[in-house]
Amino acid sequence: MATSLNSGAEKILIADEDPDVLDSLARQTLLPMGYQVATAADGPTAIQRIITFHPDVVIASLTLPRLTAKDVLVTLRAQGLEAPVIVTAPVGMESMALRAFRLGARDYLSKPLREAEVVSSVERALVEARLRREREALASRLAETNQELEQRVKQLTLLHGIGRAITSLDQMDQVAGRLLEGARFATEADMGWLMLREDDSGQLVLRAQHGLPTPIVARLGQAWDDGLSPSVLVSGEGMRLSGDGLRRLAIGQACQTALLTPIRTRGEGLGVIAVANRRPRDFTQHDQALLEAVADYASIALINARLFRSLEARLATDGMPAT
């Protein structure tokens, strides 16, 4: 098996029963042009080389022993490999070449082989292979872009839905649950919790949760310290944590990555909304931006709740029922 030292060069497999053809094409023609070259003297070896070498182009003789170039073509297609195949044969075997074309061969060269014809055929086949790879890469990028766009549309629709929902809910627990549901969906998180600061005590109280361990769930509606939220509330800055830094904290026993952001209005900390993953999936800056958007809606809901309570108190003082 001959090969070039240039690991980034395109790969060509030559399968021929004639050692002189292998030497001429590999050592004298294709290697000096900078290609990586592998050789095989029979069909089974050619198939093995295809599997291990992953050639960009195959030059295969129709008179290979044990397995012919036609068998190589069938094997390539069965394996889902798309490398162009150039078949070679002595003059007079055009009918076999025609059958090879029907199986997917890209070109046919008659023996004795001429260097210029081989080089020209290889270059045409490589152009085709490059175009195929470019099309596949473009299709892959397009599929990824469409998937990302679809996800962004879902996220924006969700945020719009949250905005509408918080104006129609008058119970804070319902609002907290809706906000947390939206935060989890937007960031594709496994679990989450929402903490609100009590006006009187200043303590953070767990108002909504999803996926937290049972002992923590039992603290719903009570003060709870997750080891992170107090710092986030005081600093006014979001936080992304994973690895050892998270494992040292109490909540780190339940998750592998966490993302928290404060709920604030006019510089006042109202609470913290957090999402986390049990699996090792890190949150991105985009996830953080989405969580911050949810936190903005949360601050609006909390301000509205305060205004409503203030209105209720004033009407009660005046002896009028709140509407």
Residues 85-125 pLDDT 10s: 998 988 887 777 777 777 778 898 999 999 999 999 999 99
To 5 degrees, how large is the angle CA 39–CA 45–CA 48? Answer: 100
- Return the CATH number at 204: 3.30.450.40
Four-residue CA torsion sign, 118, 109, 75, 43:
negative
Q: Could you give the CA distance from residue 50 to residue 72 in angstroms, rounded to a whole number?
A: 9
Q: Is residue 141 part of a domain?
A: no
The answer, yes or no, to whether residue 306 has pLDDT greater than 80, is no
Residues 217, 314: one domain?
yes
Total structural domains within the chain: 2
Q: Could you tell me if 174 and 313 lie in one domain?
A: yes
pLDDT at 7 over 90: no
Q: Is 202 part of any domain?
A: yes
In a domain, 4, yes or no: no
Same structural domain for residues 195 and 247? yes
Are 175 and 130 found together in one domain? no
Q: Looking up tokens 């909504």, which residue turns up?
A: 208
Check whether residue 181 and residue 311 sit in a common domain: yes
What is the pLDDT at residue 134? 86
Q: Are 126 and 195 found together in one domain?
A: no
**Three-point CA angle 200, 203, 207, nearest 5°:** 100
Domain residues for the domain of 116 are 11-136
Do 174 and 311 belong to one domain?
yes
Residue 129 sits in the same domain as residue 183: no
pLDDT in tens, 231-267: 999 999 999 999 888 888 878 888 999 999 999 888 7
Interatomic CA distance for residues 57 and 76, integer angstroms? 12
Note whether residue 145 is domain-resident.
no
Residues facing 45 on adjacent strands: none
Q: pTM of the entire structure? A: 0.51
* 221 and 116 share one domain: no
Q: Is residue 290 part of a domain?
A: yes
What's the 3-state SS for 119-166? HHHHHHHHHHHHHHHHHHHHHHHHHHHHHHHHHHHHHHHHHHHHHHHH
| Together in a domain, 50 and 117 | yes
